[in-house]
């Protein structure tokens, strides 16, 4: 039997042609080829690069090392945290990690080249591995696990890496320094804490390390003393947390006394980068010496630095400004 088409039943009009082309290009890639679930992914060109790069990627958010420090140090209680982001293009929607896996390998952070470090991460022993398991294997954890704590021996030199795993069980293909792997040496907790750079308009700047330095300044009666600071805990891979300060407390280690103005007691722990208000020293304070203590701790409250500022009030009257300044500052002795 022969089928005959009526000429008026299949008529190509300009509008039909335009609609057909629109449908074709809507489902076509940059090369004009249709991409369906049955067809293989492209093997060359920009689209191929996008598909190869697509997938979940891990990103370390802790340790938070200063990138300018060539040899990073961390404390004995090592803490790592990470998150994930999507890389590339996926026609089925943005990828999400099905799991993470991590590994720590012994390295020499002074002599090992980057390629040697990557080789040790790939084929060396997993220091953070599970006992009784494959000593070389990465430790795989659910996607909800994004934190790790381990105790390290003093002097341990390690490379730590984390990578995301896709829904097919394949880990991400690359390790990138300071993105998903870092190197460091474990140090003792002694003399570890945030570095604090204090600044005063009248007195310049002073850097406090966790060694107990004292900044000596001189003020004129009637001129308020104001100080701000910038703290940094990235030297051992942490973030800066709360601060607390007090003027003229008998023991800086005793944080029990409290005062809302920070005079004779502690003002309280809070995230701040400056005094709440300037301290005002009147003519009656001439010749006296006051001590300002500032505690700065990291965000995990594990290490802290004490900054000590010794304030000498000069025996020089400056009463011209006293009335206006006293209204904006905290008068010591009131």
Query: Do the Cβ atoms of 75 and 192 come closer than 8 Å?
Result: yes
- For position 76, what pLDDT does the model report? 87
Question: What letters, b where the CB count within 10 A reaches 16 and e where it falls short, cover 103-133?
Answer: bbbebebeebeeeebbebbeebebbbbeeee
Q: Using only C-alpha atoms, what is the Rg of the chain? A: 32
CA-CA-CA-CA torsion sign (249, 254, 259, 262): positive
Question: What letters, b where the CB count within 10 A reaches 16 and e where it falls short, cover 287-305?
Answer: ebebebbbbbbbeeebbbb
Peptide bond into 63 cis (omega under 30): yes
According to CATH, where is 2.60.40.10 located in the chain?
A: 55-186, 195-331
Per-residue confidence in pLDDT tens, the chain, 334 aa: 333 333 333 344 444 444 444 433 443 343 333 333 333 433 344 443 444 556 899 999 999 898 888 889 898 889 999 999 887 544 455 558 999 999 999 999 999 999 999 999 999 999 999 888 899 999 999 999 999 999 999 999 999 999 999 999 999 999 999 999 999 999 877 778 999 999 999 999 999 998 888 999 999 999 999 999 999 999 899 999 999 999 999 999 999 999 999 999 999 999 999 999 999 999 999 999 999 999 999 999 989 999 999 999 998 754 444 433 343 345 565 5
CA–CA gap between residue 82 and residue 59 (Å, rounded): 5
CATH topology of domain 55-186: Immunoglobulin-like (2.60.40)
CATH topology of domain 195-331: Immunoglobulin-like (2.60.40)
């Amino acid at each position: 039997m022969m089928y005959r088409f009526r000429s008026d039943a299949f008529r190509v009009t300009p509008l039909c042609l335009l609609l057909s082309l629109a449908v074709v290009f809507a489902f076509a890639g940059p090369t004009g080829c249709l991409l369906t679930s049955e067809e293989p992914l492209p093997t060359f060109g920009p689209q191929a690069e996008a598909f190869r790069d697509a997938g979940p990627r891990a990103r370390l958010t802790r340790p938070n090392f200063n990138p300018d420090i060539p040899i990073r140090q961390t404390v004995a209680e090592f803490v790592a945290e990470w998150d994930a982001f999507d890389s590339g293009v996926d026609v089925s929607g943005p990828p999400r990690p099905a799991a993470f896996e991590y590994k720590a390998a012994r390295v020499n952070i002074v002599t090992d080249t980057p390629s040697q470090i990557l080789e040790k991460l790939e084929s060396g022993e997993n220091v953070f591995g599970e006992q009784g398991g494959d000593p070389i294997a990465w430790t795989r954890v659910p996607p909800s696990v994004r934190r790790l704590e381990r105790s390290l021996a003093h002097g341990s030199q390690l490379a730590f890496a984390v990578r995301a795993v896709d829904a097919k069980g394949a880990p991400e293909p690359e390790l990138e320094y300071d993105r998903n792997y870092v190197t460091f040496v474990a140090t003792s907790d002694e003399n570890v804490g945030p570095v604090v750079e204090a600044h005063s308009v009248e007195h310049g700047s002073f850097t406090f390390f966790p060694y107990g330095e004292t900044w000596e300044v001189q003020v004129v009666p009637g001129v308020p003393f104001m100080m701000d600071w910038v703290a940094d805990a990235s030297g051992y891979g942490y973030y800066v947390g709360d601060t607390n300060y007090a003027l003229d407390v008998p023991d800086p280690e005793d944080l029990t006394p409290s005062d809302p103005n920070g005079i004779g007691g502690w003002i309280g722990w809070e995230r701040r980068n400056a005094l709440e208000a300037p301290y005002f020293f009147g003519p009656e304070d001439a010749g006296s010496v006051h001590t300002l203590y500032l505690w700065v701790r990291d965000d995990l409250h594990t290490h802290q630095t004490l900054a000590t500022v010794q304030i000498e009030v000069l025996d020089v009257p400056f009463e011209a400004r006293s009335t206006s300044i006293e209204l904006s500052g905290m008068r010591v002795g009131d």
